[in-house]
Amino acid sequence: MKNHKIHKILIIQTASIGDVVLATPLIEKLSAFFPRAIIDVLVKKGIESLLSGHPKLSRVIIWDKANNKYKEMRSLVKQIRKEKYEVVINLQRFASTGLITTLSGSRIKVGFSKNPFSLFFTKALKHRISANPDSSEHEIHRNLSLIDSFTDCNRNYPVRLYPSQNDFAKVSHLKTHAYITISPTSLWFTKQFPEVKWIEFLKASDQDLYVYFLGAKNDHTAADRISKGCGHPNTLNLCGKLTFLESAALMRDARMNFVNDSAPQHFASAMNAPVTAIFCSTVTAFGFGPLSEDSAVVEIDEKLDCRPCGLHGYTKCPKGHFKCALDINTDKLTARL
C-alpha cells in the first residue's frame, strides 16, 4: 500500500448506465486497499438506483444534469468541497466534471488527459481507444490505471452489482422455468440487432424455453413487435417493469442472456451471468466487451471496410445497407442456447 492516509474518496462517473457499471471495479479495489475509507460516487440523476444498497459505498451523490445543469454543478462543488475528499477520481473526459474535480479541494485529483481541465489534476493519464485488437485494452483496465500510483498495478478486479434479497425475491417467480433474457434495443440504431433478426432467431429457438424481454419503458413497443412477430409461445415483455438491480438478479440465473453492445451486457458481466453479446457497428477492441466467464461475442464473419463506423454508433447506417447487423448468421445465437 502506497498511501495509508486516505480516508475519503470520491469517484465521478456521470455518463451512461453502462459506464457506471464499468466503474465498479474501482470501488472493489479501493475498498480492498482502504477498508476504513469512505467511498462516495457521483452519478447523474436516474442512475442512482443501480448502486442502491452497495455494501462498499457510503453515499451516492446525484447530479440532476437535465434541470439547471450549471446551477446544480455550482451546488455540487460546494457540497464536494465541504466533504473534504482526499482523493477525487474522474472517469469522464468532459469539461464539466473536470471543473468539478479541479474545484474539489482534494489533494489527489486523477483523471484522463483528454479532459480539458486535466492540466489542473495531480495526475492525468492517456485514455487510449483503438479498433486494433493488438493494442486494445478493456475500459475497466483503463479506469483502474488511474489509481495505480496510490494502490498497485493489479487490475484484476471484477465489475460487481449488488441486488438485494428483495430484488431477487421480486423476480423469483420468473425462475420456475428454464429461461433466457433478451435485451433487444440500444440507445444507438447501429448498435442494435434488428427486430427482424431477433424474430428469425426466436423462431428457430427452443419453444419450451421462456423468453423474457428486458429494457426500459420506451423499449416496450419494440419488444412487443418482436414477441408478436416470432410467434414464440412463452414470451414475456418486462421492459419498463423491473429496476436495474431486479433485471440483474433475473439475468444471473438465465440459461443465456442475449444483449447488444449496451448496458445490459455490463449487467450480465456484473453478475457473472452467461451472456451472448451481439456487436453490429462496433467492435470489442474498443474495450467494452463482455466479462462473464461464460461469454461470447457474435458478429459478422465478413470483414467490412466501413466497420467499425464509430465508437458509439449512429442513428442510421452511414452506408445505408447495415450489413454489419443484417448479415449476422442467427445460427450463432441458436448455438448459445
In tens, the pLDDT along 67-99 reads 888 899 999 999 999 999 999 999 999 999 999
Q: Which three cell numbers stand for residue 319?
A: 452506408
Instruction: Encode burial over 167-206: b for 16+ CB neighbours within 10 A, e otherwise.
Output: bbebbeebeeeebbbbbbbbbbbbbbbbbebbbbbbeebe
pLDDT of the residue at 2: 54
Mean pLDDT computed over every residue of the chain: 96
Other Cβ atoms within 10 Å of 87 Cβ, number: 24
Rounded-to-integer distance, Cα 5 and Cα 22, Å: 26
> Hey, which bits of the chain come out as E strands?
8-12, 38-44, 59-63, 87-90, 108-112, 123-125, 179-182, 210-213, 235-237, 256-260, 275-278, 295-298
In 3D space, the residue among 258, 281, 268 whose CA is nearest the CA of residue 188 turns out to be: 281
Which sequence spans correspond to the domains of the chain? Answer: 8-150, 175-334
CATH code, residues 8-150: 3.40.50.2000
Q: Is the pLDDT of residue 4 over 60?
A: no
pTM of the model: 0.95
Residue 136 vs residue 181, higher pLDDT: 181
Q: Which of 2-11, 30-39, 295-304, 324-333 has the lowest mean pLDDT?
A: 2-11
Tens digits of residue pLDDT in 275-314:
999 999 999 999 999 999 999 999 999 999 999 999 888 9
User: Using CB atoms within 10 A of its CB, is residue 166 exposed (0-12), middle (13-18) or buried (19+)?
Assistant: exposed
Tracing cell 453490429 back to the chain, one arrives at 280
Q: Do domains 8-150 and 175-334 have the same CATH topology?
A: yes
For the segment 108-116, the average pLDDT, to the nearest whole number, is: 97
Instruction: Give CA separation, 132 vs 91, 137, 145, 166, in Å.
Output: 23, 10, 20, 43
Read off the amino acid at residue 36. R
CATH number among 3.40.50.1100, 3.40.50.2000, 1.10.3980.10, 1.10.357.10, domain 175-334: 3.40.50.2000
> Per-residue pLDDT for 195 more than 80?
yes
CA distance linking residue 237 with residue 216, whole number of Å: 11
Classify residue 104 by its DSSP letter.
Answer: S
Mean pLDDT of 244-266: 98
Query: Which runs of E-coded beta strand occur in 150-306?
Result: 179-182, 210-213, 235-237, 256-260, 275-278, 295-298
